[in-house]
Each structure stands twice: as C-alpha cells, then as structure tokens.
Amino acid sequence: MLQTTFIRENKELTIAGLKKKFVRDAEEAVELILKIDRLRRETQQELDQTLAKSNALAREIGGLMKQGKKAEAEAAKAETATLKETTRQLDEQLKGLETELYDELVKLPNLPHASVPEGRTADENETILEKGEKPVLPEGAQPHWELIKKLDIIDFELGNKISGAGFPVYKGKGARIQRAMIAFFLNEAANAGYTEIQPPILVNADSGFGTGQLPDKEGQMYYAAADDLYLIPTAEVPITNLYRDVIVQENDLPIKNVGHTPCFRREAGSWGAHVRGLNRLHQFDKVEIVQVCKPEDSYQALEDMAQHVQGLLEKLELPFRILRLCGGDMGFTSALTYDFEVWSAAQERWLECSSVSNFESYQANRLKLRYKIDGKTQLLHTLNGSALALPRILASILENNQQADGSIKIPKVLVPYCGFETIG
C-alpha cells in the first residue's frame, strides 16, 4: 500500500507511476486521496485544539470553585459539556475519514521503478538476456502432453476424475522427477543462505491482504467459506506473512527464506495449445524464495535472486530468457519484475517459469513490517521469486531432451536426486 505522505509530497510522480501501470483516472484517484487526507488532517487539528481547550477549562473549574466563583464555574462546566460533544462528533468524523482514506489507498497498485519500460501488454516487455542453445529435436518429436501419455508418467484423466481439469496425477518416474526437482531447488536455495520454511497452505484474509492478493485477486483463489480461509496461490503469501506486525531487529537482516508448497489458482485460461498439458494448471508445485531487507539493499537483493534463478536454469541445461516486465504487464504489488521463460522445443515457444519481484515497501506497509534505525521505526522492503515452478520446467525437460530412440534424457544435475538417467 502506498503511503499518504509519499503521495502528498510526490503528487506528479505518483500520477505518472499509476499511468505507467494503466490505472484508470489516475489524476482523479490521487486528487481524491489528497482531498480526504487534507480533511483528515484538518479534522485532527480541530480535534486536538478542542481537546486542549476542554482540558484547560477542566483545570480552570477547580480554581474557580476554590475562589467561590460558582457562576463562572458552572458556565465553564456547560462549555466543557459542549466541547465534549464537539469532541465526540469530531472523533467520529475523523474515524470516518481515516476509513475512507484507507479504502481509497488500497485500490492503488504499487508504483513502478524508474527502469520499468513503457507498455501495456506482454509483447512490450523488454528482453534483457537470452541464454542457451535451442535443441534440434529428432524426427517424430512430440509435445510433452503426448510424451506423458506414451511414457505413462502423468495422468490427466485420473486427475479429472478425482478433482477436475487442471489437477494432474503424477506417477512412477513422473512423481520421482517431481520430488527430485523439489529437493534440488530446496538444496540450492539452502546453499545460497536461505532458511527452509514449511508453511500452512491455507491462509486467512489478513494474510491475503498483507501480500496484496486481497482484494485484487480474490476471484483467482480457492476459498473455503466454512472456515473463511484461502488456498494459497504461492508460498510467498504465508512466508511473507510470518513477519506481519513484526519489528525486525536490524542485525537479523536480511531475512532469506525458501519454501516448497503446492499452489492453487482458479483461473486456467482459455482453450488452445498454449494451455494444454502442463502449460497451465489449477494445482502445481513450486519452490519460492523470499527476502526481507533494508530499503537501500533491496535492488541488489533483487539482482542476487535473479542470478540464483538463472543458475538453476543453467544447471538444468535449459535455454532461457529474462524479461523486464513493462508497466501494463506487471503485478499489482510489484515495483519491478523479472520474468524467466524456458524454451519449449516441441511447442516452439517460450514458457514462463519464474517471476522475481521487488515490492519495495508496498507489502511491508500493509503488513506493518518494520525495523528500528536510530530509534525510529522504518518500513522494510520485501521480495520474492519462483525458484522454480515445476510444471513448465518439466514440460521443457521432456520436450527438449527427447532422444532419437524416443527416450527422455534427464538433466545430469537431477540424476542423483531421482536415481535414473532416462525415462522410456
């Protein structure tokens, strides 16, 4: 959530940032917030003055009574009663303005970093790195949804019977390579200094609000109405919320956590080849890295996290590219996002497998996540990234590593984890 003080002191910058994210009526939204804030501050000042006058009169009454000035004392009491009623009205008015201001602030997305390119759609994202040689597939190579049928390692029909479309059943070597990737990603994160967390996969509304999923993405999450809980769309939500309403000790920074969870997303996109097989699911596994750090350190932390994800893809020997997202394609809470995409050789298209984002103080303001410096509390910065999401990584491994005999070669780095070198 943006801070009112920042908006007040940087009105034009705020409007420009909102326009870069294609917020409708950005000027009107900012003017409304500033108007409510001005009324709030005026009401607060009037309330403070009324309380001060009332307190001063209360002190005078005792002195007047001692001096025998009963009539003056009674007049002061009557004025005090009037001031108390005025105080009550002003207090109610102030609370109403604070609620109104809060309701308007939560509608605004985070402002984009200065390096975020202009643009409305994914076509306008900026490619900042492309690495790895795209494989030349043998004759008869197939997309992964055909391979998994032939190899009998993932069953979509069984998942559809048990739950519905978008809930695959992994079996045999399909399940083992899933487990191998999870272990590999977690171990790599531990080697990079991340502490492993195993969080709950259902969260309350306060947690969803803290990281910005609510109210922005309410319709995209599965909701357990009887208990008022949401299934998580990513481990970012519970892990970041570990620090909600916390004042972190400066010597504990930076905080680096990693967690593996299943992730649940109601939206599954439109029909077509781009959502077939593992390309888009309702349930999938993901390893997430999360950092909490000082504001002055957050952009170096972002680069470090991006380097970590890049290292994973290099070790998996997958061709990939890194995009800097444009303003119109960024998430609601992000100030700067790098998307990682792997090459799907049989589909001949790029598949997103990770987003690494800096939220600056946006989430921290919602979470009340702070630290003390020079005796004053200051908001921290939060960051997260997929390291990695499994489905599209597996799709790329299957497609890119097809051999002439129809088997699939497993990346060397995963062999010690899964215990086999080929599938098929």
Residue 270 among known ligand-binding residues: no
Q: Where in the chain is the domain with CATH 3.30.930.10?
A: 122-423
Residue 234 among known ligand-binding residues: yes
**Regions of the chain with pLDDT less than 50:** 268-271
Looking at domain 4-105, its CATH superfamily turns out to be: Serine-tRNA synthetase, tRNA binding domain (1.10.287.40)
Tokens of 208: 């969803």
CATH for the 122-423 domain, from 3.10.450.50, 3.10.180.10, 3.30.930.10, 3.40.50.720: 3.30.930.10
Residue 267 among known ligand-binding residues: yes
pLDDT digits (tens, 9 = 90+) for 124-173: 999 999 999 999 999 999 999 999 999 999 999 999 999 999 999 999 99
Residue 361 among known ligand-binding residues: no
Identify the pLDDT of residue 271. Answer: 47
Identify the pLDDT of residue 270. Answer: 47
Q: Which of 207, 241, 236, 230 is nearest to 387 (CA)?
A: 236
CA distance 290 to 305: 9
Residue 115 among known ligand-binding residues: no
- Cβ atoms of 335 and 388 within 8 Å: the answer is no
Count CB neighbours of 66 within 10 A.
Answer: 9
Residue 333 among known ligand-binding residues: no
- Rg over alpha carbons for the chain, rounded to the nearest Å, is 28
Residue 288 among known ligand-binding residues: yes
Residue 265 among known ligand-binding residues: yes
Tokens of 56: 């001063």
CA distance 302 to 312: 16
Q: Three-class SS string for the chain?
A: CCCHHHHHHCHHHHHHHHHHCCCCCHHHHHHHHHHHHHHHHHHHHHHHHHHHHHHHHHHHHHHHHHCCCHHHHHHHHHHHHHHHHHHHHHHHHHHHHHHHHHHHHCCCCCCCCCCCCCCCCHHHCEEEEEECCCCCCCCCCCCHHHHHHHHCCEEHHHHHHHCCCCCCEECCHHHHHHHHHHHHHHHHHHHCCCEECCCCCEECHHHHHHCCCCCCCHHHCCEECCCCEEECCCCHHHHHHHHCCCEECHHHCCEEEEEEEEEECCCCCCCCHHHCCCCCCCEEEEEEEEEEECHHHHHHHHHHHHHHHHHHHHHCCCCEEEEECCHHHCCCCCCEEEEEEEEECCCCEEEEEEEEEECCCHHHHHHCCEEEECCEEEECEEEEEEEEEHHHHHHHHHHHCECCCCCEECCHHHHHHHCCCEEC
Count CB neighbours of 222 within 10 A.
Answer: 15
Q: Where in the chain is the domain with CATH 1.10.287.40?
A: 4-105
CA distance 86 to 230: 43
Identify the pLDDT of residue 273. Answer: 54
Residue 191 among known ligand-binding residues: no
Residue 88 among known ligand-binding residues: no
Identify the pLDDT of residue 346. Answer: 96
pLDDT digits (tens, 9 = 90+) for 376-405: 999 999 999 999 999 999 999 999 999 999
